[in-house]
Chain A
Amino acid sequence: MTGQPKNTTKNLLISLTVLVAVAVAVWAALSIDPMGRRGAGTGRDFDKELQKLKKFDLSLLKWSESLPAMPVSMDSPVALTVLDDGNICVGGDKAVVILSVDGKEIGRVDLPFAPQALAAADKKTYAASRNIIAVLDSDGHEQARWAPLDDVAHITSLAVSDEYVYAADAGNRVVMRYDRKTGKRTYKNGLADSGAFLSGFNAPSPHMDVALSSAGDLLTVDPGRSRVQFRDVYGDVLTSWGTQGSEITKFHGCCNPAGIAILADGSIVTYEKVLQRVKVYTPKGKLVSVVAGPNEFSDHPKNTHVVPDIAVDRHDRILLLDPVRKAVRIFKRKVAPRPTTGASR
């Protein structure tokens, strides 16, 4: 008599167990995510969590953007430099545009090539496009063109000293040095066998920068190693700093900083792509302040790899040529820093 209810209870328990197991199996099957989360084709382990990395200590934000930005009438503005008279020269498309200090377009000269890098000194502007360097006069007209580099060359930055023009060639991962007067290449220790003034850079993507400090030091960026290098006139490294990492004090990703500029006090301004940040470091590599955080830039995937050119004007303002907004954005030091901590916006 007692055997039947016992059996029924047992069967009921087993049935319940099976039902629960079926439910769990269905849930597990659905969680397998055959299409990859968000259609990425990869599992969630491969997602890049940039939102978390965008946060930084807001007390470091000691610069503010001066509005409005200076609009540039170009489709693809990519190069920026400050002229001797304080005007701003922007290169892109197949032209250079001269903007006054207050942002008005005061000149425009069409060129037979699209400038990718600009530098100016002594009323001369040097414009580079892939493997060529041209010398422009103060009105932007081409005066001379130096012997082109090979087809692999991809000049991304120029810097001018009293004697030389330095060109960062990300294609060959070298820095070239040209004699300003003759336009001829000069080599380290006078030896031409290396084919370049400086070599041995690690540039996985086409972003290399070069700059000159007021003290005469040559600054180069080795983006693959996340290093900013100070070099003497012979090209030897005096000191270098920079660590790869997503923290605000470090350089994010595989090849950053993508650009540098130098403030009047010798501080170094850096620009990082992908996790877009503009920061200021001491010459010894200590983070001083943040100029603009990631939320100041478009994070659309099309735009995170677009690298703005940066420069410092005579008023020690940081100029940033934003190719997405097609404008020169100006950042000035804040009077007093904000002490709060948290998300940047």
Chain B
Amino acid sequence: MRFLGACILVLLSTTVGASGKEAFKYPPPDLGPDYVAPHTSMPEITHEIPPIVDVAILVIALTLASYVALKKRSRTGTWLLCVASLAYFGFYRQGCVCPIGAIQSVAEAIFNPAAAISLAVIVFFILPLMFTLFFGRTFCAAVCPLGAMQEVVLIRPLRLPKWLTCALGLLPCVYLALAVLFAATGSAYVICRYDPFIALFRLNGPAGMLILGASFLVISMFVGRPYCRFLCPYGLLLGWASKLSWKRVTITPDECIKCRLCENSCPYGAITTPNADTLPDDRKIGAITLVCMLVVAPLAIAASAWIMVRTAPSMAKMHPTVRLAERIVREDAREVSDTTDASQAFRESGRPTKELAAEAAEIRDNVTQGSGWAGAFIGLVIALRLISLATRRTREDYQADRASCVACGRCYEFCPVNPRNRAPQDGGDG
């Protein structure tokens, strides 16, 4: 491990010291014999904080979050760490680099060998996943600045209907598929573009972004972590990893006494209740439902893929080259009377229109192909969700749902078995 750490340190430090190379793209204009052209200097690229520091702080924060959530079982500790992460990764580092956005960089690097990706981004993408495999979603609990932002403003959580939570819970899968599709085809980084809190972290941004952030803050006051639960594509990956986690948050450190005190403690609807009494006696119905769902699954995948392929021409417009090619066609056909910066620059470049059209056609093909795969992925997730709903699982205790629990630790405070909550005469904390 030490050797691995040293390797990462060396690699990261090599990525920091790159400096710009002086060169004129165009010869400078002749401004006359009396004009003395100033020497053009390229300042050294400087990082106020090297990426290695961010990575180190991420490791420390993840370790602390895991320790506080699993070992100390402290809601206060988790909350304090949450505030610290919000201050550092959110407002100080202005939300960049973050694992959520790193999905796109990784996807682009996988599908486009020419795309560059820094080691820090890879580490930011992988580390929270690794920690989740070991300790559950402790990254969401106290490290993610987006989660922290929503966590600290939650004042009066509403309990959302189960059907709505289930339906909205599919959105992250769609968002993930689209984000990977757009990044892999070089079209756009939609996660960053629509990050609701980035404008707030930077205290700056377009009006639309600021309003979006403010709206999310208002929603977050009454709906627990709306972005994490109903949009975050990285949360979806963490949820899957969390299902396989070695250790995870448990409501009670000991045997559940079914006191029901924790039942309403989770604002995220992540506590599953005992269902032994509510399951139907006839297992045959459950089996038939499961078979039906298994039949429906391939249809859902095919239907979703078909829908995505049908929408591919529209989605291809996210790519600037496709937009430019279409714009040039419209201008040439005199469908528009004005021009754009991009179309003017293209015309002045002298590049043949046919070449641009061919490039755009290739991108459209890539997007269509990728849309098919993205649709199939969405369909698969929907199908698996349907199958899981049809599957009988008997639960005897109140448990934190492996995938959706964000390890915030609220339920600890409600569990009378938790030693911290026991009265002194019962021997707690003592």
Contacts and interface: CB of A to CB of B under 8 A. Distances in A.
Interface string A240-282: 0000000000000000000000000000000000000000000
A39 B326 contact: yes
B30 A302 contact: no
Given A28-B208, A36-B323, A300-B334, A42 B341 contact: yes
Contacts of A200: 30-35
Given A21-B219, A28-B212, A35-B318, A41 B158 contact: no
A229 B263 CA distance: 86
A88 B209 CA distance: 60
A300 B209 CA distance: 34
Contacts of B212: 25, 28-29, 32
B253 interface: no
Interface in A294-319: 299-302, 304-305
Interface in B16-67: 29-35
Interface stretch (B75-83, B189-197, B363-371, B415-423): B189-197
Contacts of B207: 31
B322 to A, nearest CB: 9
A100 interface: no
A31 B193 CA distance: 12
A28 B342 contact: no
B156 interface: yes
Given A41-B323, A173-B30, A300-B337, A32 B222 contact: no
Nearest to B211: A28
A24 B340 contact: no
A15 B161 CA distance: 12
B343 interface: yes
A29 B327 contact: no
Contacts of B218: 17-18, 21
B215 A42 contact: no
Nearest to B196: A25
A47 B339 CA distance: 9
B342 A41 contact: yes
Contacts of A21: 215-216, 218-219
Interface string B187-225: 010100110100000000011110110011011001100
B324 interface: yes
Contacts of A172: 30
A300 B335 CA distance: 10
B343 A301 contact: yes
Contacts of A299: 337-338
B320 A41 contact: yes
A14 B31 contact: no
B247 interface: no
A199 B340 contact: no
A310 B318 CA distance: 44
Given A31-B208, A32-B212, A43-B206, A301 B196 contact: no
Contact of B341 (A11, A14, A32, A41): A41
B71 interface: no
A33 B190 CA distance: 11
A36 B343 CA distance: 13
Contacts of A304: 339
Contacts of B29: 173, 202-204, 224
Determine the interface band of chain B, counting residues with CB < 8 A from chain A.
Answer: 35 or more
Interface in B327-368: 327, 331-332, 334, 336-344, 347-348
B232 to A, nearest CB: 15
Given A22-B219, A29-B212, A301 B331 contact: yes
A301 B324 CA distance: 14
Contact of B318 (A32, A34, A201, A202): A34
Nearest to B194: A29
B216 to A, nearest CB: 6
A40 interface: yes
B327 A25 contact: no
A328 B347 CA distance: 26
Nearest to B220: A21
A192 interface: no
Contact of A35 (B33, B215, B223, B317): B317
A29 B219 CA distance: 15
Interface string A26-68: 0111011111101111110011101000000000000000000
Contacts of B219: 18, 21-22, 25
A21 B223 CA distance: 11
Q: Which of A29, A47, A173 has the most CB of B within 10 A?
A: A29
A187 to B, nearest CB: 13
A194 interface: yes
Interface in B101-159: 156, 158
A194 B32 CA distance: 10
Nearest to B337: A299
A100 to B, nearest CB: 34
A32 B31 contact: no
A50 B338 contact: yes
Nearest to A222: B32
Given A15-B158, A29-B208, A301-B347, A39 B324 contact: yes
A79 to B, nearest CB: 22
A299 B29 CA distance: 29
Contact of A41 (B215, B324, B347, B348): B324
A32 B208 contact: yes
Nearest to A204: B29
A302 B347 CA distance: 8
Given A199-B32, A200-B33, A299-B338, A39 B327 contact: yes
Given A18-B223, A22-B215, A32 B339 contact: no
Contacts of A33: 208
Nearest to A45: B206
A244 B269 CA distance: 64
B178 to A, nearest CB: 11
A200 to B, nearest CB: 3
A14 B158 contact: yes
Contacts of B320: 36, 41
Contact of A34 (B31, B190, B196): B190
Given A31-B208, A34-B188, A34-B318, 16 more contacts: A17-B222, A24-B215, A25-B196, A28-B209, A28-B215, A31-B211, A32-B209, A32-B212, A34-B190, A35-B318, A39-B323, A39-B324, A39-B342, A43-B206, A202-B29, A305-B347
9 contacts: A21-B219, A22-B215, A34-B188, A40-B327, A48-B341, A200-B33, A201-B32, A301-B347, A305-B347
Interface of A: 11, 14-15, 17-18, 21-22, 24-25, 27-29, 31-36, 38-43, 46-48, 50, 172-174, 194, 199-204, 224, 299-302, 304-305
